Amino acid sequence: MTNKVVKTEDEWQSLLTSEQFYVCRQKGTERPFSGELYALDQDGQYHCVCCQQPLFSSAHKFDAGCGWPSFWQPIDPLALTEHVDRSHGMLRTEVTCSGCGAHLGHVFPDGPPPTGLRYCINSVAMNFEASDETG
């Protein structure tokens, strides 16, 4: 995404549900196994709920058993920005949308080949767009 999406917190709050705002703008997290995209098994793409930037493909999704949708790579590495996260007494790598700064989740070095990465992403931070089956 070449144009950054910039909105005030009040604008974001008016556009998002309370849970989306909490997760995406206040760096919260949804309860594990509660998100509607966790067990979704359809072909398509996952987009940022705030700015609609494409983030992940269903071709890169896997069941990590952690309670959140997990992917072993993004569609485009430039779609994500990584940050050191020392909250909650842990050292983690936070993942945000490069288009709007929305908090998406975290990336961990315990995923499957070929990358060995596990992008653990909140369902409410994404919209799913099914692939067009007609081609």
Marked catalytic residue, from 24, 50, 66, 120? 120
Q: Is 50 annotated as a binding residue?
A: no
Neighbours of 126 (CB within 10 A): 25
Q: Does residue 120 have an active-site annotation?
A: yes
Lookup result for tokens 């997760």: 23
Lookup result for tokens 């975290």: 106
Neighbours of 21 (CB within 10 A): 18
What is 67-121 written as a DSSP string? SS-EESS-S-GGGEEEEEE-GGG--EEEEEETTT--EEEEEES---TTT--EEEE
Q: Is 66 annotated as a binding residue?
A: no
| Cα 61 to Cα 79: distance, rounded to the nearest angstrom | 16
* Residues acting as catalytic residues: 120
Residue positions forming the annotated binding site for Zn(2+) = 48, 51, 97, 100
Annotated binding-site ranges: 48, 51, 97, 100
